[in-house]
Structure 1
Amino acid sequence: MDYISTRGKVGAIGFIDAVMMGLADDGGLLVPKHIPQVSADTLKQWQQLSYQELALEVFSLYIDGEIPREDLKQLVDDSYGTFRDAEVTPVRSINNHLHILELFHGPTFAFKDVALQFLGNLYSYISRKNNSIIHILGATSGDTGASAIEGVRGKEGIRICILHPHQKVSKVQELQMTTVDDANVLNLSVEGNFDDCQRIIKELFADVEFKHRYHLRAINSINIARILAQTVYYFYAYFQLANQGQAGKVNFSVPTGNFGDIFAGYLAKRMGLPIHKLILATNENNILERFVREGVYQPGEFHSTYSPSMDIQVASNFERYLYYLHGEDAQAISAIMDQYKVDGNIVIPADKLATVQADFVAYGVQGEECLRTISKYYDSNAYLLDPHTACGVAAAEQFTSEDEVTVALSTAHPAKFDEAIRLVNIEQTPPPQIEALFDKPQFQTLVGGSNSEIVEQLVKFY
């Protein structure tokens, strides 16, 4: 399988090179040259597979023998052997129309573990095989950082630096990152918001000479391996419903800020998974909702919300979708992104908007509605939603018809966001792993939001 850039200036490269490149050297994002097609017969064969077996089959389509199958199987088994539930990503039925896909059973209680346990092990595998130096650089709105650190902490040949917005993540998210005292981990608390952190990352990766000199590798969802890993649980959830006799019209409702998780669902649908609706749930930072409704992509005023991992205005995976929306025309995407730098917005014509609205529906959940949704399902179903999942469930309520079922992606354990849960007078007992964090010392460096200050820290660390 070859990988190419959405902007057309990176020649076809293999899977491992794509993982190592992260952000394409021309500033675009890497995508598979062809999306593998999965037939109805293959879907039927996959329906009874365990999560690990299914992941092996999906990854094999995109790796195409570049990693020997036995090695790949070991990577998959090692990655998902760390999860607390035997099903890895179990599906819980709430009522006849709503199911919750629990993605928080990994080491850091967040959906990012599904991709980052695999990517961390993959980086370690590549480092050993190629005797290469890997310096991981990433930004987080909360969960990516902890998951990425957990995936590579203490591993030989790998160093990791994570930027997070100072005091704009939940306390548990902060503690999960900053209580790690491994020598190969650096946490930078950046004055600004997540978009500032993400901008710095993308600009440093776009400096190809700097990226190569310091062996920088990406852990954010700009890395195509992240997206591929996330497609697996769409297949798995669909199969769980099919095994229960519910494989009619199946929707997925996805709380999203960076467009990575829902793009993985879009990719699964393009591969042949019969997803009915992809429901895009946002919070007050609703740039993506506006795009789906009006065809205008324009970052606006930043809002701090009860669902901080979605407090994002610039969606780093959006360019991948634009690429497919424009018929895989890399020249068109390059021109659009150049113009975006000038205008600060992207406006698509009516025919393209019709395609977008065939691909997605969208709903922006305001803060009070998010809290009401948490209360509602706790009272009626004794099921506690974290605020991000609550956004997904609120959006599912808007778009699930009588003859449909919706799987809402639960992206984090509610104990990670106790600040919001307490606002609706719900007392929860956190898992012991989370409770123990509050007794540990923290290790982080507060820095300003300029590239030069980040570079100064990186040079000292790497």
Structure 2
Amino acid sequence: MRYISTRGEAPALGFEDVLLTGLATDGGLYVPESLPHFSLEEIRSWRGLPYAELAYKVMYPFVEDAIPADDFRKMLDETYSVFSHQAVAPLVQLDTNEWVMELFRGPTLAFKDFALQLLGRLLDYVLEKRNQHVVIMGATSGDTGSAAIEGCRRCEHVDIFILHPHQRVSEVQRRQMTTVQGDNIHNIAVKGNFDDCQRMVKESFGNQSFLGGKTQLAAVNSINWARIMAQIVYYFQASLALGGPDRSMAFSVPTGNFGDIFAGYLAKKMGLPISQLVIATNRNDILHRFMSGNKYEQHQLEHTLSPSMDIMVSSNFERLLFDLHGRDGAAVKTLLENAAKGPVSIEDYRWKHARKLFDSDAVDDKTTCDTIRDVYEQNEYLLDPHTAIGVRAARNCRRDSAVPMITLGTAHPAKFPDAIAESGLSVKPQLPAHMADLFEREERYTVLDNNVSEVQGFIAKHWKNA
């Protein structure tokens, strides 16, 4: 399988090179040249498979040119064996035909573990084979950083530099990153917001001269295709658990960078019956404003109780725009260049095509807290603020009550105790046993100005072979 850029000018690459490259040389994102498609009969035959085996069925077509089947199966077994629930992604029922899929049973208590624990193993495999070293540079709004560090910290061929917005992630999220010890792990707190961090990462991938030609950058953000690929699987898992593919499903997805919900869009294109995808956002609602009114316009980024979604520039939205424009890379490039200068819209027929599948909602902090409280009082089930936004958006946007609605539960509530307290509940979510001493561990991180040259200089000085 070959991979092409959403901006149409970079060369097509195989899986290994896409894994290591991250951002395409023309500034675009890589997508498969063509997608595998599964028949209903084939999907039906996967009922009852363990999660790792289902993951193999769904993902192997994307990597088969690069990784032997037995090696890939071993990676998947190792990846998902460390999750704390045998089902890996268990479903919890909230109401009639309403469910939460718990995607926070991995080692860092967030859905990012599904992709990043695998990504670390993929990088180790490919870099060992090539005898190559890379510098991982990533930006996080809270959860990607800890999952990336956990997934990659044992990799012998990488140095890890994770940028997070200073004082704009929860304390648990920060400590999960900054208390992991290792000479190859570097946490950078940028005096800015997530979009500033993400911009620095993209700019650095576009010009890697600060590394002196001695190594290259590798991506752990969802610009890396491997991240999206791994997230497709749990849509199939949820559907199969609730009667799919013989009935359609609806999903509500808390999203800031559009990667998790784009995986659902791909699952549908690969043959899974999905009738609705709900984009659930907070006050940073650029995706909602586009999907509800065909206007893509950046506003000032606001700090909310759901910090992992405090994002205004949604990188993976480019991948959907590429499809909506008939895979015309030049059209996507022009559109995004114009979007950097002011508001843009797409042709009405393209927007209406997107609306056949997608709905959206923006949920403010008060409504988020109300939802946390209401669901707990109804079910004694505690939602984190991001999942609460997903549940509220699902209820506001639901098209058909006969279709199961599944909200993706993206993080453990213990990561956001301030939001739980603000909801008025007296219950205090507890960290699991393996993190019980988190607040006693020593932290290590460096605070830098919102300046790409300063960040690049720090990386150039501190990677191990510098």
Q: What SS does the aligned partner of 1:137 have?
A: strand
2:427 maps to which residue? 427
Displacement after TM superposition at 1:79 (Å): 1.0
Distance in 2, Cα, partners of 1:139 & 1:441 = 22
Displacement after TM superposition at 1:383 (Å): 0.6
Q: Give me the CA root mean square deviation.
A: 1.4
Map 1:46-57 to 2 at 5 A.
Answer: 46-57=46-57
Distance in 2, Cα, partners of 1:183 & 1:295 = 47
Displacement after TM superposition at 1:225 (Å): 0.3
1:226 maps to which residue? 227
Distance in 1, Cα, partners of 2:343 & 2:443 = 39
Map 1:294-443 to 2 at 5 A.
Answer: 294-341=293-340, 343-400=341-398, 401-423=400-422, 424-428=424-428, 429-443=430-444
Q: What SS does the aligned partner of 2:461 have?
A: helix
Distance in 2, Cα, partners of 1:209 & 1:395 = 44
Q: Name the structure with the higher helix share.
A: 1
2:185 maps to which residue? 185
1:16 maps to which residue? 16
Displacement after TM superposition at 1:190 (Å): 0.5
Q: What SS does the aligned partner of 1:46 have?
A: coil
Aligned length: 459
Map 1:10-409 to 2 at 5 A.
Answer: 10-207=10-207, 209-210=209-210, 213-242=214-243, 248-341=247-340, 343-400=341-398, 401-409=400-408
TM-score, scaled relative to structure 1: 0.97
Distance in 1, Cα, partners of 2:372 & 2:67 = 43
Counterpart of 1:242 in structure 2: which amino acid? G
Q: What SS does the aligned partner of 1:396 have?
A: helix
Distance in 1, Cα, partners of 2:198 & 2:169 = 14
Distance in 1, Cα, partners of 2:35 & 2:344 = 26
Question: Is the CA contact (8 Å cut-off) linking 2:210 and 2:460 kept in structure 1?
Answer: no
Q: What SS does the aligned partner of 2:137 have?
A: strand
Displacement after TM superposition at 1:247 (Å): 5.1
Displacement after TM superposition at 1:180 (Å): 1.2
Q: What SS does the aligned partner of 2:218 have?
A: strand
Distance in 2, Cα, partners of 1:208 & 1:330 = 24
1:7 maps to which residue? 7
Q: Structure 1 stretch 318-327 or stretch 395-404: which is displaced more?
A: 395-404
Counterpart of 2:370 in structure 1: which amino acid? R
Q: What SS does the aligned partner of 2:7 have?
A: coil
Displacement after TM superposition at 1:11 (Å): 2.1
Displacement after TM superposition at 1:125 (Å): 0.8
Structure 1 vs Structure 2: percent identity of aligned residues? 45
Distance in 2, Cα, partners of 1:210 & 1:253 = 41
Distance in 1, Cα, partners of 2:269 & 2:116 = 23
Q: What SS does the aligned partner of 2:437 have?
A: helix
Distance in 1, Cα, partners of 2:461 & 2:306 = 34
Counterpart of 1:366 in structure 2: which amino acid? D
Distance in 2, Cα, partners of 1:44 & 1:249 = 13
Q: What SS does the aligned partner of 1:94 have?
A: strand
Displacement after TM superposition at 1:393 (Å): 0.2
Question: Is the CA contact (8 Å cut-off) linking 1:165 and 1:193 kept in structure 2?
Answer: yes
Question: Is the CA contact (8 Å cut-off) linking 1:385 and 1:414 kept in structure 2?
Answer: yes
TM-score, scaled relative to structure 2: 0.96
Q: What SS does the aligned partner of 2:181 have?
A: coil
Question: Is the CA contact (8 Å cut-off) linking 2:298 and 2:342 kept in structure 1?
Answer: yes
Distance in 1, Cα, partners of 2:109 & 2:458 = 29
Cα distance, 1:209–1:47 mapped onto 2, change above 3 Å: farther
Counterpart of 2:307 in structure 1: which amino acid? P
Displacement after TM superposition at 1:209 (Å): 4.5
Q: What SS does the aligned partner of 2:99 have?
A: strand
Q: What SS does the aligned partner of 2:13 have?
A: coil
Counterpart of 2:323 in structure 1: which amino acid? Y
Q: Structure 1 stretch 191-200 or stretch 92-101: which is displaced more?
A: 92-101
Question: Is the CA contact (8 Å cut-off) linking 1:123 and 1:134 kept in structure 2?
Answer: no
Cα distance, 1:454–1:208 mapped onto 2, change above 3 Å: closer
Q: What SS does the aligned partner of 1:186 have?
A: strand
Displacement after TM superposition at 1:210 (Å): 4.8
Counterpart of 1:134 in structure 2: which amino acid? V
Unaligned runs of 5+ in 1: none
Question: Is the CA contact (8 Å cut-off) linking 1:241 and 1:247 kept in structure 2?
Answer: no
Question: Is the CA contact (8 Å cut-off) linking 1:340 and 1:346 kept in structure 2?
Answer: yes
Q: Structure 1 stretch 30-39 or stretch 151-160: which is displaced more?
A: 151-160
Distance in 2, Cα, partners of 1:344 & 1:164 = 26
Displacement after TM superposition at 1:213 (Å): 4.5
